[in-house]
Chains A and B, each alone.
Chain A
Amino acid sequence: MTVAPDAAVAEVTVTLTINGRAVSVPEGTSIHKACESAGIETPTLCWAENLTPVNVCRVCVVEVEGSRALVPSCARAAEDEMVVQTDSPRVRHSRKMVLEFLGSSVDLSQATELAAWMRHYGADPDRYDQPDLPAERISEEPKIQDDLYIRDYDKCVLCYKCVEACGDDAQHTYAIAVSGRGFDARISTEFDTVLPDSACVYCGNCIGVCPTGAIQFKTEFDMRAAEVWRPDEQEVTTTVCSFCGVGCNLELHTQDDRIVKVTSPADHSVTHGHLCIKGRFGWQYVQPPTRK
């Protein structure tokens, strides 16, 4: 199976074998994308279309013949004659363990995509708890420091996406970074300064990329707390931001005719999913607060 190369450039094609089938893709394509082109789905967590791969979560690993350790498919380029297994016992084991490890240490209740993969691989995060020796968890209180968004690192899987979105990949603000080491590593401002006193410009790009709900709109957080958050009933309206002339695409999520959050499509040529404070939060000024 072949993915049509970009018409403008005559690209070199590489052919690899995935689960016994020959797959041809343009040179430079990741194994993950090659799998996708062959109709094979791969779980990902730290990878995103609009961010530089950091390959830290390891949920996307595959077996590559000749490589001792498993290989992160999101970051490794496909090569000619590569022989890849995406569903071998080793691959299934590692993917399952990564999901279990995360489930055993953080709150994944709002990481909807992961839940399906956890079922797929039979991940059982509870098996790490002993009756009198519960598995250690990341336990953090939500940080509610303004009316725009909250950070609840109890849900953080340390995928680095928010750091990338705040830094080199989009916003160039560098308000947040990873601090500490090992299991104590956390996303943080300097000295854990509250957001309003930090470099944060409230572009909300970190919210847009967070896969677990660890960073979320205050509206969503409050509505979830009040048990009135109903994503199934929400409508999404696409519009163009009217604050300036750049032409950012906005997706207004409304529930009961009220805007509850704003996103932008990751594949949009102007925004790549990223916005500024006006597009992301400007709606808060066009409607009265939702607080009850």
Chain B
Amino acid sequence: MADLFIGDDIADDVEIAAVATVIGSPTAIVHETERLVYGGTHRRHDHRHLLLPALHALQSAKGWISPGGLNHVCELLQVPPAEAYGVATFYDMFRLDESDHPSEVAHVTHVCVDAACQIAANEELIAELEANGEQVHRSPCLGQCERAPALFRQGIGRPDSVPADAVEVAEAARRIPQQGDPSLRLLRNVGVVDPTSLDAYRANGGYRALAEAIEMGPAAVCAEVADSGLSGRGGAAFPTGVKWRAVAAEQGRPKHVVANCDESEPGTFKDRIVMEQDPFAVVESLTLAGFATGAENGWIYIRGEYPLATARLENAVGQAREAGLLGADAAGSGHRFDIEIRRGAGAYICGEETALFASLEGFRGEPRSKPPFPTTHGLFREPTAVNNPETLINTLDIVLHGAQDYRSRGTERSPGTKLLCVSGRVSEPGLYEVPFGTTLGQVLDLAGPLTGSGALAAVLMGGAAGSFVGPDALDMPLTLEDTRERGTTLGSGVVMAFTDEIDMTDVLVRIAEFFRNESCGQCVPCRVGTVRQHETMVQIQAKGSLSPQRRSLVGDIAEVMVDASICGLGHTAASAVNSAMDLGLLSATNGDSPR
């Protein structure tokens, strides 16, 4: 077994105290000269999942992760420093160089540079903030596209915050457009039920679904979810019933259910609003998933830039635990189940389920090859069901009212309702819930007249990993089947409207840059392909045209990314760019696709 070599730098008191809040007593490790007696692979793996929380603690205490702080964590967790450095440098929210973080600033202001904010004068905001002496970090989509341009403040020695969450500004801004509409299913509680109170949640029907599920038994719950035709809302639309049954069938090993709250697809903010405004529904439905699959361990992996949602979920988990709805006999089910919340640290790829496992386990957020699939080899290589929070909260209605009632909304192949994140040039951007089958035009009408020039140029469907459609797609029913047939996707529910005064080339350059920045770098097709694709977009931007040589490359680059990348990031990285070229949105390409 390895004895770890740990360098000479030592942590200061602030760092030691910060780390102690997540790792507990440092005396657990016995020293014998400079060697660690209990060193070795096993011990490393036992505690390694605390690495990410420990790095967060260091970052927030000092504004950067120092060599001494890193060494301290490595010693406690028995993680080799080179590996811990590799993990820390994987994430955008961590600084490894003190000079990035002058000690006199109290926070770093992250400003979103993705599409919705890009067309909402974010550059002017950045200039203004910088003129005021703020330290600005240009961030990918912050999941607040309905209130573009978006800001997030990463605190140093103080909590992180989002200016728009401040009590003074919040009330009006927090209203969802359809608030209180009696036809709402998933958003029923939003803005209506106090999100900080378990009592209020229960008074409005909360935890009835879990009680019903316990009455029915796990097999019947899985059957009902399967019959409902519910499919995953995280982007891949995998049938939830199939996933749950697969995990339920695994015996003899610890099992996990994970709420994938990493929400980082540009244009997506639905999960944030659900978590902020109806956190108990996420906790109840994750408990229900644990019961149905026989998993004892629930995890919520939430993106690091969501401080309010994190606080609300922590509060909800705490109250649920106190009320016996989590714990040794969760909700009187006779089944042990508890939930742990973990924060991501700024990496879109960690929303990919296998990258999420790696991140949670304390490794770099690099996707793993499938097969084996998460249902047999998920978190800690144990059976795991990963679901998006929107998927999860759907199961409450399914269990309470039955699959048949659920199928009364939506279409045969896309039953139920869908949350849509409408942003861009609309008068009332925000989160909408509509039955599947509602047309794109109807959704844009709900969000009010177009702003900007008022003439629609394109709609980005499904986020940066999705694709653009033109104004001729307004009659498209928003279902899995119709979007697929029209060569686009619902993805994570993004509907971002662009009017014709917008320079789409700038938007496409940024989308290409997004993928380049977010590639984990593991596989060659994506690590290099996203860079070459970005260079192509830069060429179009710089010259207004593509050299014939480069033009022939565009399709070649896309093909290898789609065919040979490891994960969905590489598979979809060329999708928006290709669709924009097909639609002639880039002046240089005039509609004739280079493919």
Interfacial residues, chain A to chain B (CB-CB below 8 A): 55-59, 61, 69-70, 72, 75, 90, 93-94, 97-98, 101-102, 104-105, 127-128, 130, 133, 135-136, 157-158, 167-168, 172-185, 188-191, 193, 197-199
Contact = CB atoms under 8 A, between A and B. Distances in A.
B527 A183 contact: yes
B535 A136 contact: yes
B192 interface: no
Interface residues of B, number: 55
B234 interface: no
Contacts of A135: 532, 535
B517 A97 contact: no
Interface string B68-103: 001000000000111111100110000010000000
Contact of B535 (A69, A93, A128, A199): A128
Interface of B: 1-2, 4-5, 7, 41, 67, 70, 80-86, 89-90, 96, 347, 364, 369, 516-525, 527-532, 535, 538-539, 542, 547, 549-550, 553, 556-557, 559-560, 562-566, 571
A93 B563 contact: yes
Nearest to A69: B563
B369 A55 contact: yes
B571 A130 contact: no
Which of A70, A97, A158, A173 is most buried by chain B, counting CB atoms within 10 A of its CB? A97
Contacts of B566: 55-56, 58
Contacts of A167: 80, 83
A94 B563 contact: yes
Contacts of B86: 177-179, 188
A174 B564 contact: no
Given A175-B82, A176-B82, A101 B524 contact: yes
B68 to A, nearest CB: 11
Contacts of B523: 56-58
Contacts, number: 172
A185 B83 contact: no
Nearest to B567: A69
Nearest to A157: B524
A179 B97 CA distance: 14
A190 B564 contact: no
Contact of B70 (A130, A182, A190): A190
22 contacts: A55-B369, A90-B563, A93-B560, A94-B563, A97-B557, A97-B559, A98-B524, A98-B560, A101-B529, A105-B528, A127-B549, A133-B535, A158-B527, A173-B2, A179-B90, A181-B518, A182-B517, A183-B516, A185-B520, A188-B85, A190-B7, A199-B80
Nearest to A134: B535
Contacts of A174: 2, 4, 80, 82-83
Contacts of A178: 86, 364, 521
Contact of A133 (B347, B542, B559): B542
Contacts of B85: 177, 179, 188-191
Which of A56, A72, A105 is most buried by chain B, counting CB atoms within 10 A of its CB? A56
